[in-house]
């Protein structure tokens, strides 16, 4: 096996901003194409009907998904697992991985759908977002009628009362996918948060621009490299392996009664450096607050719980001004979701 593919992640981290394109042959006629640092496309000789993007490391310190993807890629490169679908692996921010930080200059997951070109700011993460958009475009543009999938794997800054959950990008009124919700369940993800508006996240870019089934998957809490218990992601790994190696694979049918769905009730946005959250820093995702509780302040502005009970997701007072500092969510019935 070629040295370049023996440890693609290590090679990418040695060259965090650029890696020369190259092509290698894998078992069973699959071409492994290095497009750039952290970007590797697997092209079987006769691919089945799914085009699958698996991305991780958009935030450099979210290591469990990086380790999962590294192990999955190693099995494909070694021939232990046969590649039957077109697959694009993306390790998003190798430089941030090297520094063991979430971001270097700017949150990469707020720079898609053209946000990287807004304003006068220029940095490596903006350049990287533009490149990643171009690679997704290149990948999905090869086939018009393939089923397009994009799973963007993350871990959360805080612990969560629901260890694993998916963010379903805003679909502009289109129904949700019954098959994809069933796949999430098979992957051990039984909580889904429905996005309420367009965003500049990676998964929304794929969903909106290419009509892909795309999700942000939160898979536990941020841990250093080597400290993750990947057995907690066994179900997800098995689903990804089946998607890649078994052309006709389908998950078991959806069981709506076992699916917990949340909708956004309000968004808390940090507008100035005076912003503060009015609860402890160790509050976990999906912690509930009763109606009337003060959640955050920003100079003269205040946010309170508006409904009988609301739960907080993604609280982070350290975001840049103008960005979301928390979402408040409420449960909705999975039986009332418009599905296709």
Residues forming the active site: 218
Q: Is 208 left (phi over 0), alpha (psi -120 to 50) or beta?
A: alpha
Residue 234 Cα distances to 58, 186, 200, 334, angstroms:
21, 11, 30, 25
Distance CA 73, CA 42 (A): 10
Instruction: Burial-class residue 16 by CB neighbours within 10 Å (0-12, 13-18, 19+).
Output: buried
Q: How many CA atoms lie within 13 A of 306 on its CB side?
A: 11
Residue 129 Cα distances to 90, 134, 321, angstroms:
12, 9, 20
Contacts of 105 (CB under 8 A, 6+ apart): 123, 124, 125
Tokens of 50: 């799914």
What is the SS3 assignment for 95?
A: helix
Distance CA 272, CA 296 (A): 12
Decide if 44 contacts 83 (C-beta within 8 A). yes
The strands making up 276-277's β-sheet, listed across from edge to edge, are 276-277, 294-298, 301-304
CA–chain centroid gap for 19, Å, is: 23
Tokens of 191: 């909580």
Distance CA 259, CA 212 (A): 22
The single-letter DSSP state of residue 176 is B
């Amino acid at each position: 096996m070629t040295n370049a593919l023996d440890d693609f992640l290590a090679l990418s981290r040695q060259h965090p901003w650029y890696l020369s394109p190259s092509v290698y042959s894998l078992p069973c006629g699959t071409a492994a194409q290095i497009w750039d640092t952290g970007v590797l496309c697997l092209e079987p000789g006769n691919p089945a009907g799914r085009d699958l993007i698996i991305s991780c490391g958009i935030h450099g310190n979210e290591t469990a998904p990086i380790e999962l993807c590294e192990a999955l890629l190693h099995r494909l490169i070694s021939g232990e697992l046969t590649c039957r679908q077109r697959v694009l692996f993306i390790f998003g921010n190798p430089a941030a991985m090297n520094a063991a930080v979430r971001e270097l200059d700017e949150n990469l997951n707020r720079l898609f759908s053209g946000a990287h070109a807004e304003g006068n700011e220029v940095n490596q993460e903006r350049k990287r977002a533009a490149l990643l958009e171009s690679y997704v475009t290149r990948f999905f543009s090869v086939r018009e009628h393939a089923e397009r999938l994009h799973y963007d794997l993350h871990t959360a800054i805080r612990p969560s009362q629901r260890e694993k959950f998916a963010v379903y990008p805003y679909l502009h009124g289109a129904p949700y996918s019954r098959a994809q919700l069933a796949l999430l369940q098979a992957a051990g993800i039984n909580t889904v948060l429905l996005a309420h508006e367009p965003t500049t996240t990676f998964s929304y870019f794929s969903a909106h621009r290419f009509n892909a089934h795309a999700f942000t998957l939160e898979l536990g809490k941020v841990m250093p490299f080597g400290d993750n218990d990947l057995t907690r992601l066994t179900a997800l790994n098995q689903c990804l392996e089946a998607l890649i190696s078994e052309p006709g694979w389908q998950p078991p049918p959806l069981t709506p009664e076992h699916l917990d769905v949340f909708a956004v009730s309000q968004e808390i946005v940090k507008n100035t450096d005076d912003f503060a959250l009015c609860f402890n820093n160790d509050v976990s995702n999906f912690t509930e607050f009763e109606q009337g509780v003060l959640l955050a302040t920003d100079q003269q502005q205040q946010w309170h719980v508006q409904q009988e009970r609301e739960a907080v997701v993604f609280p982070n007072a350290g975001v840049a001004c103008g960005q979301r500092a928390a979402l408040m969510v409420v449960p909705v019935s999975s039986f009332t979701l418009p599905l296709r």
